A = this chain, B = another copy of it.
Amino acid sequence: MIITLEKQCTTDQRAAIEAVARGAKLEVHPIIGVNETVLGLVGDFNGRYGDMFDHFQAMPGVASIQKISKPYKLAGRDMHPADTIVEVGGVKIGDGSLTHIAGPCAVESEVQIRSIALLVHDAGANVFRGGAFKPRTSPYSFSGLKEDGLRMLRDAGGEVGMPVVTEVMDTRDVPVVSRYADILQVGARNMKNFSLLQEVGQTGMPVMLKRGADATIEDLLMSAEHVLSRRRDREPRLILCERGVIGFDDETRNLTDMSAIPVLHRITHLPVVLDPSHATGVREYVGPMALAGVAAGADGIHIEVHNKPEEALCDGKQSLLPDQYAELIERMAAVHRAVRGVYPRG
């Protein structure tokens, strides 16, 4: 932590700052520059890095503080250099293979979910998705079949032997969703819902955490830290998912942050999945972005697939048809082969 003092910082103010640092058993290294004086603080912050940062920021005489250490620990590579592989239902996510997560936006009926499960399984998907609790911008929109939907999803996945991932939105629903799902999804809108993060963390189950539209990479990893810090078994069974950040152009729903994939791979050991369906919101762009994600090193691609998009109760505009998905999987495989060895993993 590097504290830059204000030009008009008094001797007393500086002494107070140094006293706080020494009280926390940190060494203080002053550097007197031509225009500025900085204090380098060194030592073990004992998980109080954020608190100390806030404390110093509020002290008189402090102009600004630069962080040197990262505020996350369990999510970072410093303490956990090896790549994490999340195993669920026989599928390994993050081992260098390409995981295909697919399914409809929402579970709508038994017939619908079973037929799509068969189709995406045949196409080559290995994790099945479908929403039973749906976050909807409008309170008047279809918001999911709840426990009935969970049961249908579970059964449909079970029939074709695919583990299922589904979103949980409310701490109170964590138990029921945990009974049916193999992976708990925390959606982008709840990425900073810390109560929910901690609750899903405590289950010990695999979690897929989607990046919020306004979340920096550090924000995402701090949310991951909330999940990981609640694991009793210390197993970091957590998958990160990029699904687009807020942008200023209406051509796509969100702005796909493709470089998040290599950035995350450098600083975290957790697997990284791309969701081009929500990132773009437009069917025509899902394929190109999926292929780009594979080329950029994603560990998996998450795609919305519906057999009757125009009858879908949500997100029809961005859903691929099963045929389109099957073709895309072949192309993704070709691109994955083309970049073999570029991204060592697993």
Contacts and interface: CB of A to CB of B under 8 A. Distances in A.
A4 B69 CA distance: 10
A315 B54 contact: yes
A170 interface: yes
Nearest to A46: B140
B249 A217 contact: yes
A15 interface: no
Interface in A171-214: 171-173, 189-190, 192-196, 198, 212-214
Given A249-B216, A317-B58, A51 B142 contact: yes
Contacts of A262: 284-285, 288-289
A141 B194 CA distance: 12
Contacts of A246: 214, 246, 248
Interface string A41-57: 01110011111001101
A140 B50 contact: yes
Given A54-B317, A135-B192, A189-B192, A68 B295 contact: no
Contact of A139 (B38, B229, B245): B229
Interface string A133-155: 00111111111000000000000
A346 interface: no
Contacts of A277: none
A124 interface: no
Contacts of A83: none
A258 interface: yes
B138 A71 contact: yes
A95 interface: no
A295 B288 contact: yes
Contact of A33 (B57, B69, B249): B69
Contacts of A141: 50-51, 54
Contacts of A161: none
A252 interface: yes
A311 B56 CA distance: 9
A40 B314 CA distance: 22
15 contacts: A29-B40, A50-B138, A58-B319, A71-B137, A137-B222, A170-B171, A170-B196, A171-B171, A214-B248, A216-B248, A251-B263, A255-B257, A256-B259, A335-B335, A338-B338
List of 7 A-B pairs having minimum Cβ-Cβ separation, nearest first: A58-B316, A214-B214, A189-B192, A295-B295, A292-B292, A170-B195, A334-B338
Given A4-B68, A58-B312, 6 more contacts: A50-B137, A171-B172, A173-B195, A189-B193, A250-B250, A262-B285
